[in-house]
Amino acid sequence: MSKKNVRLLASGFLFSGLLLLALSTFAPAETGATNQDIPDELEAEIRYLEDTVVTLELENEQLLSENTRLAQENETDSTSDSEETEEFDTLEEAEETDSEEETEEAAEEEVEPSVMEYVVVVNEGEPSSVVASQLESFGLIDDFHGFNRYMEENNLFRRLRPGRYTVQSDMNREQLIEAIVR
């Protein structure tokens, strides 16, 4: 190689080094921002998928409980229907008194709400919002966000452990929390 070629090669190396130095000085802010956006997008997608899973699980539990409730009502209806047909075969007077008694009993049953038991399932790593959404789906709480906020403000979400917890429909907020954070 001639002296001229070596000088051109050295000046090319020098120019490319300066160019790389300038790019590395000004470009990290742009690449850092795009690298930061990717985890944020993934976290948002994970949250969406978790919420979807929770919603579907709650919907499944609601459908199962409704199915069970309807099956029980159907069973009690068929039992009461067979009893009613036997009663109607007796006297007309007995029919009138029985129907009056049944309406009175039905009115008393409506006045005295029966206590329903529900099972709240908490899996490993689930947030307190899952518990709140389950309780809301059972009709035990009215405000999903208020209950979740209360648990977070009082650091009760840290005491939440995986498991199956039985709660009743006549429990208030404090009793519900006590039942699930034992």
Whether the CB-CB separation of 132 and 144 falls below 8 Å is answered with yes
The packing angle between helices 28-88 and 128-137, to 10°, is 30
Q: Which helix (H) or strand (E) holds 74?
A: helix 28-88
Domain of 125? Answer: 117-180
Q: Say if pTM beats, i.e. exceeds, 0.85.
A: no
Q: How far apart are CA 140 and CA 169, in angstroms?
A: 6
DSSP line for 88-112: HTS-HHHHHHHHHHHHHHHHHHHHS
Kindly report, residue by residue over 105-157, the tens digit of the pLDDT.
Answer: 655 555 456 788 899 888 888 888 888 888 888 888 888 888 888 888 888 87
Position 135 in a domain: yes
Position 17 in a domain: no
Q: How far apart are CA 29 and CA 36, in angstroms?
A: 10
Position 10 in a domain: no
Whether the CB-CB separation of 91 and 166 falls below 8 Å is answered with no
Q: What percent of the chain has pLDDT over 90?
A: 13
Amino acid at site 57: E
Q: Which of 6-10, 38-42, 99-103 has the lowest mean pLDDT?
A: 99-103
Position 97 in a domain: no
Position 134 in a domain: yes
Per-residue pLDDT band at 23 (split at 50, 70, 90): confident
Kindly report, residue by residue over 89-107, the tens digit of the pLDDT.
Answer: 554 555 555 555 665 665 5
Average pLDDT on 52-59 reads: 90
| Structural domains counted in the chain | 1
Position 124 in a domain: yes
Position 138 in a domain: yes
What CATH number is associated with residue 146? Answer: 3.30.1490.480
Does residue 171 or residue 100 have the better pLDDT? Answer: 171
Per-residue pLDDT band at 30 (split at 50, 70, 90): low
Q: For the purposes of burial, counting CB atoms within 10 Å of the CB of 134, is it exposed (0-12), middle (13-18) or buried (19 or more)? A: buried
Q: Give the 3-state secondary structure percentages of the chain, helix then strand then coil, rounded to 5.
A: 75, 5, 20
Predicted pLDDT of residue 91? 46
Position 175 in a domain: yes
